[in-house]
Amino acid sequence: MLGAMLPDDVRPVDPPIPIVDDLERVAFYVPTYMGPVDDLALMARMPRLEVVQLLTAGYENAERFLPRGVTLCNAGGVHDASTAELAVGLIIASLRGIDSFARAMPSGSWVYGRREALADKRVVVVGAGGVGQAIRQRLEPFEADVVMVGRSARPGVHASGDLPALLPVADVVVLAVPLTEDTHRLVDTEFLARMADGALLVNVARGPVVDTDALTAQVASGRLSAALDVTEPEPLPPDHPLWNLPGVLISPHVGGNTSAFLPRARRLVAEQLRRFAAGQPLEHIVSR
């Protein structure tokens, strides 16, 4: 039996999969998109569970609930375009001061001045997977010099060991990595200290990839600026200093949640179900 914990507007196939009451019969489970932890905990009550298909690219929350022998798949490719769009939007908004213009509108202020262009900037994208490559594809037409960094070196991609040499010459650093033991607080005091004065840090990955206290200190000093779609903690408390620091732009974890999500999610789950029913290899396996 198939199991789904999806709101009506996020059902991946037509006709919709009914919500399953008999958890003991579930073999293929699709947890709620951005849903509560309780939905992931339901895996422990599914003795016949074989596959968990997430609707998110990140899978760190689901891994700790995954029963032994169950295959975990993420939503590879579903969020690439939307997250890349937001990353580019955050960069342009930050460099060109669009958020400042918006804040000045209610008072009728004409905030004229010369701003930074994306053209001719060197952008280091940390994370060379689907989202990272989608960001690169969208940045290059803006005449930016895009440098990709992955876990290991390959044509067109630097190894993570090259970061210390790349950070001082980057105008913008974009984080597009999954949250793992290796990337947890990857952006710490040392990482930020290597970034050039006036550089912009953009995080469309996961909040814990960045040491929030270290970033707050650097931005408060005026040395760096930041554009964040994800934070730690999340949501960021209303009294957190990042909300009011100059040079900070925050969006509420909306990188993948656009009109492009539903059609891509439906296609992904339908294809995975077809493969599962036919006994064919699944795609986007991240853990077993």
Catalytic: which of 184, 253, 267, 275? 253
Chain region(s) in the chain for CATH 3.40.50.720: 2-78+258-287, 80-250
Answer yes or no: are the C-beta atoms of 144 and 122 closer than 8 Å: yes
Catalytic: which of 50, 60, 63, 234? 234
Look at residue 30 in the predicted model and tell me its pLDDT. 97
Binned at pLDDT 50, 70 and 90, residue 287 comes out as confident
Is residue 203 scored above 80 in pLDDT? yes
With pLDDT > 90 as the criterion, what percentage of the chain qualifies? 91
Look at residue 22 in the predicted model and tell me its pLDDT. 83
Q: Which CATH superfamily is domain 80-250 in?
A: NAD(P)-binding Rossmann-like Domain (3.40.50.720)
Look at residue 3 in the predicted model and tell me its pLDDT. 60
Is residue 28 scored above 80 in pLDDT? yes
The mean pLDDT value of the chain amounts to 93
Binned at pLDDT 50, 70 and 90, residue 83 comes out as very high
> E strand or H helix at 83, and its extent?
helix 80-96
Q: Please give the DSSP secondary-structure letter assigned to residue 9.
A: G
Is residue 151 scored above 80 in pLDDT? yes
143 in active site: no
Q: CB neighbours (10 Å) of residue 280?
A: 11
Is residue 152 scored above 90 in pLDDT? yes
Rounded Cα–Cα distance for residues 6 and 21 (Å): 14
234 in active site: yes
Q: What is the mean pLDDT of residues 91-111?
A: 96
25 in active site: no
Look at residue 15 in the predicted model and tell me its pLDDT. 44
Is residue 4 scored above 60 in pLDDT? no
With pLDDT > 70 as the criterion, what percentage of the chain qualifies? 92
Binned at pLDDT 50, 70 and 90, residue 261 comes out as very high
192 or 9, higher pLDDT: 192
Name which of 131, 124, 125, 55 is nearest 86 in CA terms: 131
Look at residue 10 in the predicted model and tell me its pLDDT. 46
Is residue 138 scored above 80 in pLDDT? yes
Q: What is the mean pLDDT of residues 121-128?
A: 98
Answer yes or no: are the C-beta atoms of 266 and 274 closer than 8 Å: no
Q: CB neighbours (10 Å) of residue 113?
A: 6
Binned at pLDDT 50, 70 and 90, residue 21 comes out as low
Is residue 25 scored above 50 in pLDDT? yes
Domain 2-78+258-287 top-level CATH class? alpha beta
Look at residue 8 in the predicted model and tell me its pLDDT. 46
Q: What is the mean pLDDT of residues 199-226?
A: 98
Catalytic: which of 206, 232, 264, 284? 206
The structure's pTM equals 0.90
For 61-76, give one letter per residue: b (16+ CB within 10 A) or e: ebeebbeeebbbbbbb
Q: What is the mean pLDDT of residues 10-26?
A: 61
- Quick one: angle between helices 130-139 and 80-96, nearest 10? 50
Q: Rounded to whole angstroms, what are the CA distances from 237 to 4, 111, 202, 255?
A: 32, 29, 20, 20
Name which of 63, 69, 2 is nearest 270 in CA terms: 2
Binned at pLDDT 50, 70 and 90, residue 1 comes out as low
Is residue 5 scored above 60 in pLDDT? no
Is residue 148 scored above 90 in pLDDT? yes
Look at residue 134 in the predicted model and tell me its pLDDT. 98
